[in-house]
Structure 1
Amino acid sequence: MKNLSTVILGILFFFITGFRLHAQNDKMKTEILEIIKGKKFNIGISVRNSKGVEIFAHNSNEKYKMYSVSKFFLALKVLHLIDNKTLLLNQDVSFAKSDLKAGLFSPLRDSNPEGITITLEKALYYIVNQSDNNVFDKLVDLSGGIESLNFYISSFTKNKNSFSMSALYRDKEGTIGNNVVTPNFSSLLLYKLMKNKIISVESKNILMPLLETSINNKRIQALVPKNLKSFHKGGTSDRVNNVLIASNDIGIVYINEKKDFFTIAVFISNSLEDDAVNDEVIAKITEITRSELINR
């Protein structure tokens, strides 16, 4: 009889817990959909909890133009090659004047227009933290080329349509938009990174500080309390006829000072909203998620 009571209590607990989580998911979904309601853009969102479960998805399997989010994926490839000793963190990477092309966003070129030699570790800083387009192209070449990068990142998913890279910044204007990814795969790869399933712990410890700050912290990180760690990589296009082609951010946010976190990927495309609205939407989606997960 005692065993039967225990079983019944267990079943009741399972259903009550499941109902509570379902209600919380519905609340989060309602709040997020209210934020994006009526906005003049297309948006894809994927959120995963610290167990890797996708707890919110909106157009999460659609492909979106990456722009500088692609630099996060390149950093993973470079660090993988460092892990297997193909590349060395302290090796030199030389930039001739011809490598530092005009017309591209390039802090390295702006401060060293005649060329410079830096370490690979410093080059990683320039692509991840400073989003340097010339350094991106150089590191793609150094790490085996665009096809090799595409093959490596695609190896982490069974859905080969969730990621595709075919263009460098030096290529014909506009082709960089051919590099696409799904929000679902982005949040999954962030989760795998957190679980040490992509690169070594040592390489992860190199990467994470580069993701803590960047040239734009107004999206995922904007409303996260300062006492909580968060990491991100954004991507932004130019406007064409007042239409912003892409305003993206992917990242990891801790919901407390312990080990609980979530991964999030938000891709906005073809936006007629101003930059502040796009940024605010991503920030609010992040904060809604964090607030809901605190109470679970």
Structure 2
Amino acid sequence: MERDDLKLAEAEGEVPPAATPEATAAPPWVSATVPAVFVVLWSSAFIAAVIGTDAAPPLLLTFSRFAIAGVLLAVVALVSKSPWPKGKLLLHVVVTGLLMQAVQFGAFYTAIGAGLPGGVVALIQGFNPVLIALMAGFFVGEEITRQQWLGFAIGGAGVALAVAGALDFSTSAIVLSFVGLLGLSAGTVYQKRFTQGADVRSSTAVHFLASAPVMLVMTLTLEDPKVTDWGAFGGSLAWIVLINSVGTFLLLNFMLKKQAASRVGTLFFLTPAVTALLAWLVIGQTLNLSAIIGLVLGGAGVLLAARK
């Protein structure tokens, strides 16, 4: 998701102008409540996806999200006069976008459309830092500590329990979720290696705009792209685009101004549990005991593996 672009940009000192310190400090209660609001809004993306895929085919929802968000972010990049990637950098940005957007969300939304609970999908997506650390260890030579290996083991056990608890939904949906995870992790590593100099706003717009045609071709060839409930589809799409693609972007920048990136990153470990809670409250989606235990173990394991 967009969080990887922002975290890398913050680490390199390339946070957009909106993330520069303001003259007037925000009230303490704002800084205290923003993290909780952020986690709820980020987790809500999975609930919106469940509602959206009930009203329309998943790849059609994915295409619509990319097309609208891409245009909106392109306008933001043009208005803010952000530099656009060119030449080889543009090619690398496109590859990153296809991995992090087309592969990730195309697979995740299809898995959700097949009935896989949002909390399980969120847990699998949350395993991204673990997979990235493993990739860095095997392909880049970065050292993996004993604490990280322990975290991998606990997190892996949690994912296994959560997945086992969801096997009655669809095995293919579970496979697709891991395909989405692989796209996100590979895209993040590729981005860190080849697109460090790209502006966050313009490069994210390219991610969406490059992925939209791919999703259009896929929905036209693999699905019957018809909307059965325009109200639910429009509402979920508006929420995904405006709240999850723009609102959380602004909140994340705000937190990166106030706190270290590593501390902000720990908020994502709460996403699976909050997603499961929202799914129960909003759409009545429940999990069995093994899946719930898996969510707890998975979050604890990923948190342990990500700690320095």
TM-score (norm 1): 0.28
Q: Which structure has the highest strand share of the two? A: 1
Q: Which has the larger radius of gyration?
A: 1
Q: Which structure has the highest helix share of the two? A: 2
